[in-house]
Chains A and B, each alone.
Chain A
Amino acid sequence: DVKVTQSSRYLVKRTGEKVFLECVQDMDHENMFWYRQDPGLGLRLIYFSYDVKMKEKGDIPEGYSVSREKKERFSLILESASTNQTSMYLCASLTSGSSYNEQFFGPGTRLTVL
């Protein structure tokens, strides 16, 4: 059974705090992604990584950074959390190995910044 796990389902933080969201996949996938999902705006790509130590900006990278030290783990970092970063955060992974690539999602982390 394929698995993408995220460190927390619910998280409450205060403005200005540093926040780490962790994502781990056990499928040996090369590509990993971080999205946020907000009502009326859909899923928006924050950052993605196609290899260890590689990272690329998505559509809305401002206020975020990422880390990919190991193939199975992709971390999203909010250096100084702000209230407009209250959202559902979804991690995903997929393989590059074939022409058919299903992107698997983690369960999501609902972050509230007070």
Chain B
Amino acid sequence: GQNIDQPTEMTATEGAIVQINCTYQTSGFNGLFWYQQHAGEAPTFLSYNVLDGLEEKGRFSSFLSRSKGYSYLLLKELQMKDSASYLCAVRAPKAAGNKLTFGGGTRVLVKP
């Protein structure tokens, strides 16, 4: 089975740093994705990790530890436009159709 957990909601101040954790227990693993979703819009891709370690992309970084079933998304220098939901998703192996299983999403509210 698949189980992906992330906090429901987080609040942070403009200019600060926020770390969104994601833990997973899945029957197969072929990469972990982070998506951003603004209210009423489709999710947009942020990052992809398949090997352990940190991937940095501008203000956003994503970390993966496969042995611990753990990832985090780090948002630095928060801006008001970063207020959104952040979705963690684990991809199944190709033999299982490459399908993504999503966590419930973490709603981040950035305050002035």
Contact = CB atoms under 8 A, between A and B. Distances in A.
Interface of A: 31, 33, 35, 40-45, 48, 50, 56, 58-59, 90, 94, 96, 99-108
A41 B104 contact: yes
What are the 4 A-B residue pairs with the smallest beta carbon separation, nearest first? Answer: A42-B104, A105-B42, A43-B102, A102-B45
B43 to A, nearest CB: 5
Given A41-B104, A107-B41, A108-B41, A56 B91 contact: no
A106 B43 CA distance: 9
Contacts of A43: 43, 87, 89, 102, 105
B111 interface: no
Given A42-B103, A103-B33, A31 B97 contact: yes
B104 A40 contact: yes
Contact of B42 (A33, A99, A101, A108): A108
A90 B42 contact: yes
Interface residues of B, number: 22
Contacts of B41: 107-108
A107 B44 CA distance: 10
B98 A94 contact: yes
Interface of B: 31, 33, 41-45, 48, 50, 87, 89, 91, 94, 97-105
A28 to B, nearest CB: 15
Q: Taking each of B48, B100, B104, which has the highest tally of chain A beta carbons within 10 Å of its own beta carbon?
A: B100
B87 A33 contact: no
27 contacts: A31-B97, A40-B104, A41-B104, A42-B87, A42-B103, A42-B104, A43-B102, A43-B105, A45-B101, A50-B97, A50-B98, A58-B99, A59-B101, A94-B98, A96-B94, A99-B50, A100-B48, A101-B31, A102-B33, A103-B33, A103-B45, A103-B100, A105-B42, A105-B43, A105-B44, A106-B42, A108-B41
Contacts of B44: 105
B26 to A, nearest CB: 13
Contacts of A31: 97-98
